[in-house]
């Protein structure tokens, strides 16, 4: 069964923990760069004491030795899942996977959900006829390097599940129910559709965090996954 990951994209650890207390049965919390820089490892430990698994989403992209050191630190801290960027290259990904071992699930970011085709072409400096094929190319590099899975938008998840098979994790951000604003996400998907197409983890932030009743919003999504 797919897992629901709540993205705590809030200004402070106090606010994150207050929202978490309103989400009964919370299993996964995603901490990104803003909250992690503000609060550091102490917030990870606090979530862990509450029995919540941490998805540390820092998208490491650096020389292999530096990324391996960061992955080791995250593993030692008890992080359950973390991101590296596939554009870091095969050597970096392999070093990260070796450092992660079996305790930390490492997933590679393929194409950001904020990118469309034109922006991706400007980043890569070449034509990109299809974002799905670009995501597949990067995904295969990540899996060959030993990563547990990938991060990809809902627009590519069905295609990627078909070509990569049933085993790799496919973590899908940009989850939006009908009528919810997309914000800065350009390639979003509805939760039921993401599940149907083979997502292993659905990352949901603002639709829960900014809801009038976060607990009710969370439960509606849990019901979709059951």
Instruction: Give catalytic residues, as residue numbers.
Output: 59
Residue in 53, 207, 170 with CA at minimum distance from that of residue 219: 207
Q: Are 91 and 131 in contact (CB under 8 A)?
A: no
**Is beta strand 149-151 parallel, antiparallel or unpaired with respect to 169-172?**
parallel
- The pair of structure tokens assigned to 154 is 């809902």
What contacts 196, CB < 8 A, 6 or more positions away? none
φ, ψ dihedrals at 126, nearest 5°: -155, 170
d(CA 97, CA 180): 36
How far is Cα of residue 138 from the mean position of the Cα atoms in its chain? 15
Q: Measure Cα distances from 93 to 17, 63, 77 in Å.
A: 32, 10, 20
DSSP per-residue string spanning 147-197: -SEEE--HHHHHHHHHHH-SSSEEEE--B--TT---TT-SS-B-HHHHHHT
């Amino acid at each position: 069964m797919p897992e629901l990951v709540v993205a705590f994209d809030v200004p402070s650890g106090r606010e994150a923990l207050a929202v978490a207390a309103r989400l009964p049965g919370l299993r996964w919390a995603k901490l990104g760069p803003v909250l992690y820089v503000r609060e550091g490892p102490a917030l990870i430990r606090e979530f862990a004491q509450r029995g919540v698994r941490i998805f540390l989403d820092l998208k490491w992209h650096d020389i292999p030795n530096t990324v391996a050191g960061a992955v080791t630190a995250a593993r030692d801290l008890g992080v359950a899942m973390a991101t590296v960027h596939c554009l870091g290259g095969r050597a970096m990904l392999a070093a990260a996977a070796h450092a992660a071992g079996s305790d930390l699930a490492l997933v590679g970011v393929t194409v950001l959900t904020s990118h469309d085709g034109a922006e991706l072409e400007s980043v890569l400096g070449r034509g990109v006829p299809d974002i799905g094929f670009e995501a597949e190319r990067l995904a295969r590099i990540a899996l060959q390097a030993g990563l547990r899975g990938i991060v990809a938008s809902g627009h590519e998840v069905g295609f990627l599940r078909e070509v990569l098979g049933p085993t790799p994790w496919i973590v899908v951000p940009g989850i939006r129910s009908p009528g919810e604003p997309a914000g800065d996400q350009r390639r979003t998907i509805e939760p039921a559709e993401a599940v149907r197409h083979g997502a292993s983890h659905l990352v949901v932030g603002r639709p829960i965090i900014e809801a009038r009743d976060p607990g009710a919003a969370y439960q509606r999504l849990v019901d979709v996954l059951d």
